[in-house]
Amino acid sequence: LRPPTVIGQFHTLLFGSVRLLSLGVLGFALYGNEALHFSREPDRRARVILPVTTSSVFWVSQLVIVLVPGAFFHRYAACKSIKQKDTLQKSFYTIFLISSVFLRIILEAEGFWLQIQLLGFKVNAIYTCDVGALEKQFNVTRCTVPEHFEKRIFLIVMYTFTVITVVLCVAEFFEISCKRLGFLKTQ
């Protein structure tokens, strides 16, 4: 079942293809196993915990959580064999669709707020880290972040994707409302 709105179809294309692809390819390239940079001993590399690597885990979690409301709607529509044109003509289906879009808006906005709280807008080149797992004399030392400039650019890209998807969800909400009220013709 395709999304019943043009903006919803564009959102699916942007969200499903571009955002997931960039996170999967570029995110993995930048945020791969960074623990390898901190020890020359292979058996101790995995013990180093870096706060920088949590960024990619957060973004994957955010994408999965934001996909859930739309997935519920599409699963319900597929199980009930709802046609695309019926989605905007029957009140229950429209309310269900609007609720899923509204929930996506809330989850994206909350994800954006959490990104700002957890990650900020800057990736520092050097930070203090705990290397106690490496059995060094001092447990705290200065660690460098590999490819910190590229990670900062990628951070801005992920913020941009979040803002774009929030705007698309709000526009989809208004498109559904306008089609339901008869201001726009349905397909």
Q: Please give the pLDDT value at position 94.
A: 87
For the chain, the distance separating the N- and C-terminal CA atoms, rounded to the nearest angstrom, is: 14
Across the range 152-166, mean pLDDT stands at: 87
Selected residue with higher pLDDT from 170 and 135: 170
* Least reliable range by pLDDT among 42-46, 83-87, 92-96, 167-171: 42-46
CA atoms of 37 and 173, how far apart (whole Å):
46
Helix residue ranges per DSSP H, the chain = 6-13, 20-22, 28-31, 54-79, 84-87, 91-119, 148-181
CATH number of 6-185: 1.20.1440.80
Q: Please give the pLDDT value at position 103.
A: 94
What percentage of residues in the chain have a pLDDT greater than 90? 9
* Average pLDDT taken over every residue of the chain: 76
Secondary structure class of 121 (helix, strand, coil): coil
Q: Sketch the domain layout of the chain as residue ranges.
A: 6-185
